[in-house]
Amino acid sequence: MLARLRIRGKLAVLLIAPLVAIVLLTVVVVVDRVGQAGRAADTARTARVAGDVGALIQDLQQERLIAVGYLVQVVGRSRLLLQTAAVTDRVTNLRLDYADDLSPEVAEAIDDVKSLAGLRASLVAGTADVEGVLTQFTAVIGWLIDALRLMDAADATTAEGRQLLALDALLRVDEGNSAGAALMTVMVATRAQRDLARYAANAAAVQPNLDRFTASGTPEQVDLYGLVTAAFASRVGGGFVESVETDPAAAIADLRVATLFPSLESYIALGRFVEKRIVTDVTATMTDLERRQTTTAYGLVAGMLVLLLLVILLSTAIARTVARPLTLLTASAARVAQVAEDELVRVADDESAAPEPVRLERITVGGRDEIGDLARTFERVQRTAAQLVERQVASRRNVAQMFGHVGRRTQNLVGRQLGLIDQLERDETEPDRLRQLYRLDHVASRLRRNASSLVVLSGGTGTNPHLAPLALADAVRLALGEIEEYDRVDVQLTGTIMLAPAVISDLVLMLAELMENATSNSPPHTRVAVTTGESATDVRVSIVDHGIGMPAERLTVENARLERRERIDLAPTEVLGLFVVGRLARRHGLQVSLSDTPGGGVTATVVVGRELLDGSAAPEPQSRETIASVIDIGALTRATHSIDGRQPWNAFAAPRTLAAVASPPAIAAVVAPLDADATAEIPAPLRQPSRQGQALRRRVPGAQLSAGTQAARNAAQFVAAPPDPSSAQALVEAFEDGVRRAQHDGTAPPADQTPPLPPTPPLQPTPQSQSTPVRPATAGRNLSRRVPGATLQDPGAIPRPGLHLVESQSSPDPDSAWNLVEQFESGVLRALRELRSEGSSQ
Amino acid sequence: MAQHATRSRSLIAVLLHCLLAFALMAPTTLLFARVWGSVGEQARFAQSERNGIQYLRSLGQLTIALTDAQSAAVAGRPFPRDTITRVVEATASVDARIGGDLRTHERWSGLRAKIEALAALSVVDPATAFSTFGEATDMLLALYKEVRDNSQLTREQDVDASYLQEGAAQQLPEAVVAAGRFMDLAVIAAGRPRNDPAGTAANLLNARDAVTYPANNLAAGLQAAVDGTSSRTLSGNLLSRLDRFRRGMETLTATTVPVDGRTAVNTAALRDVRNEVQTAASELAATILDELDLLISARIEDLDRQRQTAAVTLAVAVLLALVPLTVRLVRPRRRPVANPPVPPAPQPAEDVVPTWRREPTGAR
């Protein structure tokens, strides 16, 4: 039960018992106070009624005295009538003032005053006697006093109760005195013995009440009554009270009714003052008491409410001080958990190179209590967690950078190795050694591919040497040159698809990985086919192998891996190639998918969007030339050579390219000095290949710029006539290709197929230049030519497309010429850059 | 722009708070103003009554002194001019102080001139002295009425105070003056040749009735005041004085002065009764005025309490009305929450950067 409550609820449970106790106690006390106040009000009201009824009683007493006086003929009838009217008025006022507030007894007693009507009538008529007057008035007055029931209402233990008793006694004393005054009037008037006795009896009857009053009245009231007694004594003489008991006749001997009556009339009014004093005392005391009790009750209730409010506010505040930090802590913990989750997601998705620092809000919980301690400790936990995550990110980044550095360094080294191998290949003439060198070249290429993969794995990007569009077929060929069992790959490309420069190197790497995957995961006797398909929006390159394939679930997993980002250190190592492919595909927005090949095996499909193709330039003949001038000629050549042994397939299959290159006049001007220069540098046996009948060296050392001195010299020469190693090499390559073709077709060489590459004499002012046009012509079939693929495997069944250099003799147009100039300039820039980089690396 | 909108919104909120405060305060202030004004009016009323009571006190002294002087003059004795002068000076100082408020300056000036003229009077025959002093006492009674009217005592609402003021300012002076005249008439009648006993008897009877009537009324009035009062001292204090006064009057009217016109008056007894009546009247007047003053003082205190309560209520109301406004003004204005630290936008993936723009990372 308690466990389910929150902190506020628990506090409420804690507080509810004392609060209820306080409320109950307060209610008890307040009820008591209210009761006391009510009783005080009742007492005050009783006293007030008694006072007002006392006034009526006094009026009746006056009327009785006047009636007696009337009977003894000391006052006129008008006085009697006036007094009767006064009594009637008083009755009416009483009934109206108190309406229904009077007790039934009092109301009845007041109504009984009307029973005096008969007596009054007989008085006026002169038929009444003193006896009747005294009896009836006394009876009515006595009933009125009894009806007030002050004795019953009074609690003698309390001061106000005693006051009510005193009032009751005083009313009776006054009645006794008043009756005594009437009796005295009669007594003095008649001087009859019977009246004397009655007066004495009445005086004796007054005494007990007087004693009661003296006992219960306050000293002031008793003193006040003493004044009344004194007033009586002063009216009838000092020793009257004593002497009237012993000798009434002698005591009243000096009294005359005519003078006595007015003094008695004023005398009986005096008792009323004392009564009024008691009534006002009681009323004031009781009103004061009532006010005090009421104030106390209100104060208690207000105090209790304030206390309740205070407790509620305090408990709310305390609950807040407890619950709020806890809520904050919970929120902080949730944030930390969220950050950790986010971090987990982010490390699985590690392609963003810039790790964000983890930001956690400070927990703003002060306080020195346990919750504050908890908050501070949690703050530490949070900070530590953040540091942990940051450190993890940093360490992962460092490892990736390490990979990247190693990969790039390896790339550099392999690049230089390839250059060296290249140089050796050029210098080597012996076929066996040359074959070994080619194999070494091939291994180095694969090594470089591995280095590139490592760079990709590290998250970095490798260099992209491609500045111009490249045909997809060339890209496939470059890729082929980087895998081991390239000879099992059949490339069946249709159409001419040009790739945008940005994607080339990565696509080559991708294709290489896919082809490597295909070849290594299929039996050696099967073949792997590379085909393309075009649609309006993309180009699909499919690599189809015929191995045992993959189970469907594995296929799903690998496809997912290709699409989804995945951390390298979480991926199984056997699919690193696919990881590389996936990362590159995501980088360029390529779609790569694996599917089953019908009849067994796996088909990997790369979808290259149109936006990655260089669509505008594709069909233009100039673009081929562009490629020739800027692509990594060396790599392409090596790839070509690696494949050539098996498939005599020309990387520069488009014949128009060379035709354009060879076309005058712009290029010829470039070629001429270049060739002249190159020829000059060529060793003697190579310089006159046709005449010496030796194998034609197809490499032009200056084109590779592998030697510093050579490069420097070339550079110096290029100042005069801007040299372009690449284009020069392209020319040389084309030339060599022609030679090779000539050699290859040596068995049945049609004379007209000889490429008319050499320009016309006007363009060859130097003597060396004259040898160049001779070169293709004299490249006889007996020329010893390095055939890289020849030693590797069986020749491919696919017919090698021939070079149709003849077709390239198209008419020159301004656009192509302008393109050539531009390419030339970019080639110069590139050469200069390579010079710089080689110079720095050596 | 947003700040401007926020400021104008908060300005509108402040204005609304002001309006609310005003709406809360306006009725309270109106009620307070009415209560304050009404209570203030009552307090001024009561203060004016107290001034009247003060004036009546000095007039009471003057009445006794004047009737004494009249008796002396009628009896042919030298009357105490010092006493008269002292009382007149006392009354003159009271009149100078509060006569302006009570608008009695002129009346008092006239009366004072009359009294001073009387004081300067040499010995004359009793009848002349009687009539001359009679004019002065008539003027004195008129001044009583003027004071009573102008001090608002006649408009007294409370039963007890109303009867008390009537007794002190009207019935008691009348009774005292009438008693003096009655006794002086008796003295004159005693000194005169008894050629017209019937006329003398008629005069004396008239004079006696003139005494009895206000005295009885006074007794009845004081009785009514005691019946209607809630004062705890009134009945006790009045009891003995009123009794003494009534007994004095009864003695005077019933026994001391024979009204048959033939019996000679006992001058010594008359002087005793006269002294007794004067003393009792003086005491009674002082007591009545004291009680009246007490009642009105209590009322003024009550009115002061009402004023304080009203002021406190208004203050509390104003505070309550101002609390929201004050809170609004004092509370630090909520500043727009600072933008949470936005994590830096993920840097564009490196591979988006065109590769040909990047420096070569390694020598090829």
Which residues on chain B are in Cβ contact (under 8 Å) with A352? 346-347, 349
User: How many CB atoms are located within 10 Å of the residue A418 CB?
Assistant: 20
Cα–chain-centroid distance for residue A230? Answer: 97
**How many CA atoms within 13 Å lie on the side-chain side of A655?**
17
What is each CA distance from A194 to A136, A197, A555, in whole angstroms? 19, 5, 147
Q: Both tokens of residue B98?
A: 């509060």
What is each CA distance from A455 to A401, A566, A797, in whole angstroms? 9, 16, 37
- Is a pLDDT exceeding 70 seen at residue B141? yes
Task: Check: CB of residue A52 under 8 Å from CB of residue A44.
Answer: no
What is each CA distance from A412 to A240, A415, A444, A832, B103, in whole angstroms? 154, 5, 12, 18, 128
Task: Check: CB of residue A571 under 8 Å from CB of residue A561.
Answer: yes
Cα–chain-centroid distance for residue B276? Answer: 30
- Kindly report each contact of residues A383-389 with a partner whose C-beta sits within 8 Å and lies 24 or more positions away, as own/partner: A385/A336, A385/A339, A385/A340, A385/A360, A386/A339, A386/A358, A386/A359, A386/A360, A389/A339, A389/A340, A389/A343, A389/A358
Indicate the angle between helix axes A814-841 and A666-681, nearest 10 degrees. 30
Bridge partners (DSSP) of residue A602 are A596
Q: Both tokens of residue A328?
A: 């904050």
Bridge partners (DSSP) of residue A606 are A541, A592
Task: Determine the longest span between alpha carbons in chain B, in angstroms.
Answer: 173
Chain B nearest CA to A467, separation (Å): 7
With CB atoms and an 8 Å threshold, state whether A273 touches B239.
yes
User: How many CB atoms are located within 10 Å of the residue A387 CB?
Assistant: 11
A259, A266, A464 ranked by CB distance to B246: nearest: A266
Do strands A528-534 and A489-492 pair parallel, antiparallel, or not at all (unpaired)? parallel
Q: Does A458 touch chain B (CB under 8 A)?
A: no
With CB atoms and an 8 Å threshold, state whether B236 touches A220.
yes
Task: Check: CB of residue B204 under 8 Å from CB of residue B186.
Answer: yes
With CB atoms and an 8 Å threshold, state whether B247 touches A234.
yes
Q: Both tokens of residue A12?
A: 């409420």
Task: Check: CB of residue A271 under 8 Å from CB of residue A173.
Answer: yes
Ranking A560-564, B31-35, B45-49, B175-179 by mean pLDDT, the lowest is A560-564
Chain B nearest CA to A274, separation (Å): 7
Q: Both tokens of residue A535?
A: 């649609």
Q: Does A501 touch chain B (CB under 8 A)?
A: yes
Q: Check residue A613 and report its DSSP letter.
A: B
With CB atoms and an 8 Å threshold, state whether A276 touches B219.
no
Query: Which of B240, B243, B259, B305 is the best residue to mutate to test the A interface, defined by the most A CB atoms within 10 Å of its own CB?
Result: B243
More confident residue, B256 or A422: A422
Q: What is the helix (H) or strand (E) element at residue A307, kind and residue range? A: helix A270-347
Closest residue of B to A54, CA-based? B227
b or e along A629-656 (b: 16 or more beta carbons within 10 Å of the residue's beta carbon)? bbbbbbbbbbbbbbbbbbbbbbbbbbbb
Chain B nearest CA to A268, separation (Å): 11
Q: What is the pLDDT of residue A671?
A: 40
Q: What is the pLDDT of residue A86?
A: 92
With CB atoms and an 8 Å threshold, state whether B356 touches A464.
yes
Q: Both tokens of residue B52?
A: 């009247």
With CB atoms and an 8 Å threshold, state whether A505 touches B346.
no
DSSP notation for A205-236? HHHHHHHHHHHHS-HHHHHHHHHHHHHHHHHH
Chain B nearest CA to A565, separation (Å): 13
Q: What are phi and psi of B112, to 5 degrees?
A: -65, -45
Task: Check: CB of residue B30 under 8 Å from CB of residue B310.
Answer: no
Confirm whether the ipTM is greater than 0.95.
Answer: no
Q: What SS3 class is residue A490? A: strand
Do strands A538-544 and A602-609 pair parallel, antiparallel, or not at all (unpaired)? antiparallel
With CB atoms and an 8 Å threshold, state whether A356 touches B344.
yes
**Residue (of A655, A400, A692) closest to A408 by Cα position:** A400
Tell me, what amino acid is at A16? I
Q: Both tokens of residue A513?
A: 């990985």
With CB atoms and an 8 Å threshold, state whether B361 touches A460.
yes
**Residue (of B111, B118, B72, B68) closest to B91 by Cα position:** B111
Mean pLDDT in chain B? 83
CA distance A466 to A414: 18
Q: Check residue A602 and report its DSSP letter.
A: E
Chain B nearest CA to A414, separation (Å): 9
Task: Check: CB of residue A44 under 8 Å from CB of residue A161.
Answer: no
Tell me, what amino acid is at A209? N
Q: What is the pLDDT of residue A678?
A: 41
**Residue (of B189, B187, B213) closest to B200 by Cα position:** B189
CA distance A315 to A310: 8
Which residues on chain A are in Cβ contact (under 8 Å) with B212? none
**Residue (of A729, A710, A738) closest to A835 by Cα position:** A710
Q: Does A330 touch chain B (CB under 8 A)?
A: no
Q: Both tokens of residue A514?
A: 């896919």
Query: Which of B212, B217, B227 is the best residue to mutate to test the A interface, defined by the most A CB atoms within 10 Å of its own CB?
Result: B227
Bridge partners (DSSP) of residue A530 are A491, A543
Task: Check: CB of residue A97 under 8 Å from CB of residue A52.
Answer: yes
CA distance A371 to A365: 8
What is each CA distance from A210 to A167, A372, A506, in whole angstroms? 11, 81, 133
Which residues on chain A are in Cβ contact (under 8 Å) with B358? 461, 464
Q: Does A587 touch chain B (CB under 8 A)?
A: yes
CA distance B50 to B37: 20
Task: Check: CB of residue B167 under 8 Å from CB of residue B223.
Answer: no
Number of cross-chain residue pairs from A and B with Cβ atoms under 8 Å apart: 122
More confident residue, B67 or B120: B67
Q: Check residue A612 and report its DSSP letter.
A: G
**Residues of chain A below pLDDT 70:** 1, 343-367, 462-463, 565-575, 615-815, 817-818, 838-842
With CB atoms and an 8 Å threshold, state whether B236 touches A224.
yes
Which residues on chain B are in Cβ contact (under 8 Å) with A262? 250, 254
With CB atoms and an 8 Å threshold, state whether B226 touches A220.
no
Closest residue of B to A410, CA-based? B362
Q: What are phi and psi of A491, to 5 degrees?
A: -100, 115
With CB atoms and an 8 Å threshold, state whether A277 touches B361.
no
Residue B344 burial class via C-beta count within 10 angstroms: exposed 0-12, middle 13-18, buried 19 and up: exposed
Ranking A642-656, B245-259, B261-275 by mean pLDDT, the lowest is A642-656
In chain A, which among 162-181 make CB contacts under 8 A with chain B? none
Chain A nearest CA to B20, separation (Å): 26
With CB atoms and an 8 Å threshold, state whether B360 touches A269.
no
In chain A, which among 144-163 make CB contacts under 8 A with chain B? none
Q: What SS3 class is residue A604? A: strand
In chain A, which among 799-818 make CB contacts under 8 A with chain B? none
With CB atoms and an 8 Å threshold, state whether B247 touches A837.
no
Q: What is the pLDDT of residue A579?
A: 81
Task: Check: CB of residue B35 under 8 Å from CB of residue B308.
Answer: no
Chain A nearest CA to B239, separation (Å): 6
Q: Does A405 touch chain B (CB under 8 A)?
A: no
Q: Does A224 touch chain B (CB under 8 A)?
A: yes
Cα–chain-centroid distance for residue B302? Answer: 13
**Residue (of A218, A368, A276, A329) closest to A48 by Cα position:** A276
Residue A271 burial class via C-beta count within 10 angstroms: exposed 0-12, middle 13-18, buried 19 and up: buried
Residues 6 or more apart in contact with residue A656 via CB below 8 angstroms: A621, A624, A807, A808, A810
Closest residue of B to A236, CA-based? B247
Query: Which of A266, A351, A358, A506 is the best residue to mutate to test the B interface, defined by the most B CB atoms within 10 Å of its own CB?
Result: A266
Q: Does A467 touch chain B (CB under 8 A)?
A: yes
Q: Which residue has the tokens 């300039």?
A: A825
CA distance B72 to A618: 157
Residue B333 burial class via C-beta count within 10 angstroms: exposed 0-12, middle 13-18, buried 19 and up: exposed
Segments of B154-222 assigned E as strands: none
- Is a pLDDT exceeding 50 seen at residue B358? no
Q: Does A349 touch chain B (CB under 8 A)?
A: no
CA distance A227 to A13: 69
Q: What is the pLDDT of residue A61?
A: 93
In chain A, which among 281-320 make CB contacts under 8 A with chain B? 281, 283-284
CA distance B169 to B56: 7
Closest residue of B to A275, CA-based? B235
Q: Does A338 touch chain B (CB under 8 A)?
A: no
CA dihedral A501, A502, A503, A506 (to 10 degrees): 110
Edge-to-edge strand ranges of the sheet holding A528-534: A489-492, A528-534, A538-544, A602-609, A591-596
Chain A nearest CA to B236, separation (Å): 6
Residue B158 burial class via C-beta count within 10 angstroms: exposed 0-12, middle 13-18, buried 19 and up: middle
